Amino acid sequence: MWQSPDTLVSPIMFEPGGPLEELRDGVREWCAAHVPKDWREQQRGATHQELVEFMEWWGAQLREAGLLAPHWPKEWGGGFSVREQVVIAEELARGDGPRNGLYHVGVFNVAPTLVHSGTQEQRERYLPAIWGGEVWCQGYSEPNAGSDLAGLQTRAVRDGENYVVNGQKVWTSWAKEADRCMLLARTDPDVPKHKGISCLIVDMHAPGIEVRPIRQAWGPADFNEVFFDDVIVPVDNLIGPENRGWAVASGTLAAERAVVILEAAERLRCNGIEAAIAEAAATRLEGGEPALEDSAVRELLASCYAEVQVLRRVLNEMIDDILRGADVSGTSSIIKVLYSDLLHRFTRELTALHGVAGQLDGPVLACAGWETGFWMNDYIHSFGWLIGGGTNEILRNVIGERMLGLPR
């Protein structure tokens, strides 16, 4: 059972529109008071249920402080500018706040999609629910539609005021816990593949849905297969027009994604690279010398440090571009490749550096993203970043075709 610390100070509610530095100092102080110092120790080896309880607790802390969804419109509890969102994300990362995995899809993917493409009625119904802790999953990939996502085969057939959904999704994170799913399904099989897809809101408690956990290569099972067998979905649950789901799903979410990856990059800098530098001072190599005094180790760590600083520069430029209204679809692919390649290299090299000790295993830390607490597991975990969100190979096609104009 997650033990909440009893040292909580009275809640603060952060408001948008003030001076950036005040917000930064405020969130920093808030983190110092609210991020439990021992959450990593407490969560190491936690059961799935304990992990969910911890995330619910952490989500509640963020909600009370007004930090759960800074990027949402003001009337729904956000209203923070992109610059303010950046400050909040940086300080949550630097303050070692746990990653908000359970609510991620709802807060960062579904809500912005509803804001951009949903009806007012949908916004009024679902945004407060997500704010209040409703868990969402995202039904995109299928066994035969991974990189070729638009080739998806899950069918939604209109029957009066409902759709009847049949098919199978895969790699669906948090599907077991989810109350709802933002689902891509084929509503017209007779048109080119991108033009026959619709985006639907599906109640995960509806009859006909079966969720089967899939264990990831690094151990835990927080993604799933989801089977839909004659699942009834009201037509009102359509997001955007019928057959326009592809555009709805790949809509204008650039700013939200930029802030999410900026937070990931800050975590890699603080909890990854900088922590590894400090740790290397206390680690001895096989010959007995402190790792940090070894020139190869120093150079490796310095090059990772330099690269994460360059990544921050690229991210900051992308955020400037977003604020100028420029198209950043190419840059966001570049940033995903840069981030994941750096994470992968860093975990691979640190695993190697730790020698056989880097191969040790034990109860993992499941709520810290790639930081499982064991280098070999961190390295295995990093493959998830190379593959998820569009494999880096597909993203290189995207960069080649959309940015450089190379032929398909």
210 binds other proteins (CB under 8 A): no
332 binds other proteins (CB under 8 A): no
**Angle in degrees, 0-180, between the axes of helices 254-267 and 82-94, rounded to the nearest 10:** 20
406 binds other proteins (CB under 8 A): yes
Q: What single-letter amino acid sits at 384?
A: G
CA distance 119 to 239: 7
Considering the complex, state which of residue 352 and residue 406 has its C-beta at the smaller distance from other proteins. 406
The yes-or-no answer on residue 90 being catalytic is no
Kindly report the backbone phi and psi dihedral angles of residue 172, in degrees, each rounded to the nearest multiple of 5, phi listed first.
-90, 105
The residues facing 201 across adjacent strands are 182
Q: Which of 15, 229, 317, 361 binds other proteins (CB under 8 A)?
A: 317
Q: Are 237 and 201 in contact (CB under 8 A)?
A: yes
405 binds other proteins (CB under 8 A): yes
Q: Which of 154, 331, 332, 340 binds other proteins (CB under 8 A)?
A: 331
Q: Are 129 and 202 in contact (CB under 8 A)?
A: no
Segment 192-196 long-range contacts (CB within 8 Å, at least 24 positions apart): 193/150, 193/151, 194/150, 194/246, 195/243, 195/246, 196/243
What are the residues whose beta carbons fall under 8 Å from the beta carbon of 293, sequence distance 6 or more?
none
217 binds other proteins (CB under 8 A): no
Question: Measured from the CB of residue 351, what is the shortest distance to other proteins in angstroms?
Answer: 20
CA distance 111 to 131: 9
Q: Which of 191, 306, 357, 360 binds other proteins (CB under 8 A)?
A: 306
Considering the complex, state which of residue 214 and residue 310 has its C-beta at the smaller distance from other proteins. 310
Considering the complex, state which of residue 183 and residue 315 has its C-beta at the smaller distance from other proteins. 315
Question: Measured from the CB of residue 400, what is the shortest distance to other proteins in angstroms?
Answer: 4
Q: Which of 164, 247, 277, 386 binds other proteins (CB under 8 A)?
A: 277
**Interacting residues with other proteins between 337 and 396 (CB under 8 A):** 337-338, 393, 395-396
295 binds other proteins (CB under 8 A): yes
Phi-psi region at 216: left, alpha or beta (left = phi > 0; alpha = psi -120 to 50): beta
310 binds other proteins (CB under 8 A): yes
Instruction: Give the residue carrying structure tokens 């304990």.
Output: 50
Instruction: Give the residue carrying structure tokens 């102080």.
Output: 29
Alpha-carbon 206 to chain mean position: 26
- Determine the interface stretch with other proteins among 65-73, 97-105, 205-213, 312-320 (rule: CB under 8 A): 312-320
CA distance 229 to 71: 36
274 binds other proteins (CB under 8 A): yes
Return the ∠ at Cα 97 (arms to 95 and 103), rounded to 5°. 150
Q: Are 199 and 136 in contact (CB under 8 A)?
A: no
**Selected catalytic residue, list 90, 256, 263, 307:** 256
The CA distances from residue 353 to 83, 290, 345, in Å, are 38, 12, 12
- Determine the interface stretch with other proteins among 41-49, 61-69, 274-282, 371-379 (rule: CB under 8 A): 274-282
- Determine the interface stretch with other proteins among 4-12, 150-158, 228-236, 398-406 (rule: CB under 8 A): 398-406
**Interacting residues with other proteins between 73 and 92 (CB under 8 A):** none
Q: Are 144 and 151 in contact (CB under 8 A)?
A: yes
Considering the complex, state which of residue 238 and residue 342 has its C-beta at the smaller distance from other proteins. 342
Where do contacts with other proteins occur on this chain (CB under 8 A)?
274, 277-278, 281, 292, 295, 298-299, 301-303, 305-307, 309-311, 313-314, 316-317, 330-331, 334, 337-338, 393, 395-397, 399-401, 403-408
Which sequence positions are flagged as catalytic? Answer: 256
